[in-house]
Amino acid sequence: MVNTELLVKFLEAHIVVMALLTSLMVGWVLKHAFPKFPNRYIPLVLPVLAVFMNVWINEFKFTPDIFFNGLLSGCGAVGLHQALAPYVNKIIDKYVRRILGKEITDEVGD
């Protein structure tokens, strides 16, 4: 069994929330605002972006901890998107249809 208390403490110590949320937003923008950008590259871009964000947050210091925490935050953004995408896309689609009168689609396999 997984010790959830230990897992939560690990994530609290190593996830950089600013980098995670920024990566999540940039991933969404890449997917929906730039349709020609291949979706398969988004999970590669987000950890790299999160590492740069974490280096910037730490005043341009680069240590293994800063690298690891940024990498973990970017991978966390990818995982969070995969876990929440079905629910978030339904909510966004509902409001986009109401406001703009059109539907956004989430292509699988791009």
Better pLDDT: 96 or 51 = 51
Residue 42 inside a domain? The answer is: yes
Is 69 among the domain residues? yes
- Residue 74 lies inside a defined structural domain of this protein: yes
61-106 confidence digits (pLDDT tens) = 999 999 999 999 999 999 988 998 888 778 777 776 676 665 555 4
Q: How many domains does one find in the chain?
A: 1
Answer yes or no: is 97 within a domain: no
> pLDDT tens across 5-36, in order?
888 888 888 899 999 999 988 988 898 888 89
pLDDT for the residue 4: 87
Residue 28 lies in a domain: yes
Answer yes or no: are the C-beta atoms of 53 and 30 closer than 8 Å. Answer: no
- Domain of 76 in residue numbering reads as 4-81
Q: Is residue 108 part of a domain?
A: no
Residue 34 falls within a domain, yes or no?
A: yes
pTM of the model: 0.73
Return the number of other C-beta atoms located less than 10 Å from residue 85's C-beta.
13
Q: Is residue 94, in this structure, part of any structural domain at all?
A: no
| Residue pair 105/77 in contact by the 8 Å Cβ criterion | no
